[in-house]
Structure formats: C-alpha cells, structure tokens
Amino acid sequence: MKKIFNSLLCGLSLSLVSLVACAEQTDKLSYDDVASKIKYTFESNLFQLPPRTQGHYGIRLYRMTGDNKYLASALYDYYVVNDRMHAILPYLDNPGYIEQSAKRLTDAMSKGTRGKARRKALENYPEFIFYADELLRYAARLDEFGVALPEQVTSTLKNYDFLPGLTDKTMIRAWAAQLANYVYWLKQLGIADYSKQYKEAFIAAYPDAEDHELSRWHFRNKLYGLTHFIFAASSYYQQYVSKDEFGWILNYFSKNEQRIMKDSTDDIMAEVGISYLLMKEKSHPMVGKAKDSLVEAFNEQAGMIPSVSGKIDLASGEHRNVLAYMLYTWPEELTEGPFFHQIHGVQRYIPAHNFEIEDEHDGEH
C-alpha cells in the first residue's frame, strides 16, 4: 500500500512540475507581444518625449513602415534641426562663437566614465565637437530630408580637417559609434570619404587579439562602433548593406557570441540583431538569441525594456525600445526619407525659413 501511495505521490509531483513548466511556457511573451506592448507604451506617450527623442522614434518607425502617421514626430525633428542650423549659420566664420559652442557642448557631457573619456580625448581637438556633433549632424539630417544645404555649410565642413580626430586612437576608444556616424555623414554629403581610413584606425585601436584585455566598458564601446559601421552605411535603416563589405563584422559577432550575451547591454543586443537584418541574415541564430534576450529583459508592467540599472524612463529608454521593436517587426522593404516636400498634405507644414529643396527628390511620394 505504501509503495502504491509513493507511486501516486511521485506521479502527482511530476504532474505538478509539468503544469508549472507549462504555465511558465504559456506565460512567456511572444515576440509580437513584446513589440505591440512597446509600441503601445511609446505611441500613447509620444508627445511627452523631448523633440530629438520624439523625432528619433518617428523617423525610424517611418522607415520601418512607410506609414505617414509618423510624419508629425519626424516633422518636429525637422523644425528643431532647421531652427538650429539657421541659428549657427551666421557664425560659421566666427572663431570665438565656434570656440564657445565647442566648450558648451563639452561641458554638457556626462560626468561618468564615458563623458570623462570623451572630454579627455577632445583636449587635442577642442573644436571637433562643434563641427562634427553640431554642424555636421544638422547638415546630415537636413540632407536626409531632401534639403539642399547652403554653400556656406558645405564649404565650412570641407575646410575643417576631420581626419586626425576621426582616426585618433584615444578618440575611437572614447566614442567609436559616434565617429562612425561622422565618417558616413561626411561621405553622405560628398564632403570626404574616410571610411577606409576609419576602418583601419578602428581595427588598430581595438585589435581582436587584445579583446581579452578589454574592460566591459571598452568591449561595449567596440561593439557599438561595429554596429554603427553598418547602421551609418545603411543611412540609418533606409537601405540594406553589402555583406562583402561588412561581413567581417558579423563574423566577429558570431565568434564572440558568448561574451556578447554576457557583457552587452539590451541596446547592444538589439543593435547586433539588426546588424544581421541589414545584411538580410534574418535566419541567423544570433538574431533569435537577440530577440530572446530582449524578451527576458522586457518589463511587462512598465510596457518597456528598462535600463541596465532597472530604471523605467520613456525618454532615456526610447533608444533601446525602438530598436527592440524594429528587431521584432523588421520589414522586407525599407522606406527612405521622409522627404516632406514630396508628401501630399505635408508640404505646407515645411518650415517657412527653409533651405532649398533638391530637384532630384521632386514629385509625389
């Protein structure tokens, strides 16, 4: 009788374990669940976000979907960038203004590890941040919207020597991703093509053979730099990129999968996954692992993926969450733009004090 009771008890225990396992499996959110919850969280609070953050979201969702409902947020970004460009335009030949602006931008950097590293790196290139992170950034964004830049802007960018700062080891080890942005913005605008020099300098600054010596912070900086080679070359999700040109980066990710899974942030995991998608490698195992990792990180109660420290904040969390949404909902075709002047019903909202529109983009969209 005792044996029968023990057998029944054992069977009951196994059944309970199975039920718990089944319940856990049922409770696990699907990719679509996470994507829809992120979308709901941010789109129901979209107009609470700062202009640049709201624009970041709207532009990326437009490029993923081609849906005109995201134009308002993207147009908000256009207003701000257009206004800032007009504000600095009269002072591009004023050394005092440029010096003060560079100091303001440097002083505004965070007081943490990243900010300290960047301020130190900029000591040899004090004006670099004005030309790269202000003038070049605004110029590239306006160009993405199909706006022709004043000759004064392009000539100023051509007259500044970006190459020393872009290829400096200390600079690369302080902000690898941003330098990749600058390199491809310069190429996009036809100012200069430093992509080869930057790749060589990046590899020299972060040789694979010395990865074991990298701190977690530097390993993450290297990963950010690698993803931004791809992102910047794609004009930020407007076009696919060549595996012949950037396959070396995917090879690196695959080879270092274990450390990436252990030491990267959720932002980086999303970027790694999207890097494969931008080379049409959607079936690669790393894409699935990135998706699974972000499901685990998702906070269902908050409706978003929190920061590494667990912080729940819409503005600071938009970047990782919109990337996660993109990873889960990646389309077969990417949408360029938005080119506001081509879109019926939007032209009248273009800033009144605008620069010229490029003829090549004229027409309906």
Contact 238, 201 (CB under 8 A): no
What is the model's pLDDT at position 308? 87
Per-residue pLDDT of the chain (365 residues; tens, 9 = 90+): 444 445 444 443 434 344 344 444 447 899 999 999 999 999 999 999 999 999 999 999 999 999 999 999 999 999 999 999 999 999 999 999 999 999 999 999 888 888 899 999 999 999 999 999 999 999 999 999 999 999 999 999 999 999 999 999 999 999 999 999 999 999 999 999 999 999 999 999 999 999 999 999 999 999 999 999 999 999 999 999 999 999 999 999 999 999 999 999 999 999 999 999 999 999 999 999 999 999 999 999 999 999 988 999 999 999 999 999 999 999 999 999 999 989 988 888 888 666 655 544 433 33
CA distance linking residue 57 with residue 42, whole number of Å? 9
Q: What is the pLDDT of residue 356?
A: 58
Residues β-bridged to residue 357: 147
| CA 229/CA 250 separation, integer angstroms | 11
Residue tagged 């998706």 (tokens):
291
Residues 6+ apart with CB under 8 A from 188: 140, 143, 144, 235
Give 221's DSSP letter: H
In sequence order, what DSSP letters do the residues of 88-124 get, joined into one string?
HGGGTT-HHHHHHHHHHHHHTS-SSHHHHHHHHHGGG
> Number of C-alpha atoms within 13 angstroms, CB side, residue 135?
29
The answer to whether the beta carbons of residues 129 and 102 sit under 8 Å apart is: yes
142 in Cβ contact with 77 (< 8 Å): no
Residues 85, 75: Cα–Cα separation, whole Å: 15
Sequential DSSP letters for 287-340: HHHHHHHHHHH-BTTTTB---TT----HHHHHHHHHHHHHHHT--SS------G
Q: How far apart are the first and last CA of the chain?
A: 80
The residues, any chain, with a CB within 8 Å of residue 278's CB and separated by 6 or more, are 230, 231, 234, 237, 240, 241
Report which DSSP code applies to 363.
Answer: S
H helices of 111-188, where?
113-121, 128-130, 137-144, 151-159, 163-167, 169-188
Whole-number pLDDT of residue 352: 67
The C-alpha atoms of residue 238 and residue 127 are separated, in whole angstroms, by 30
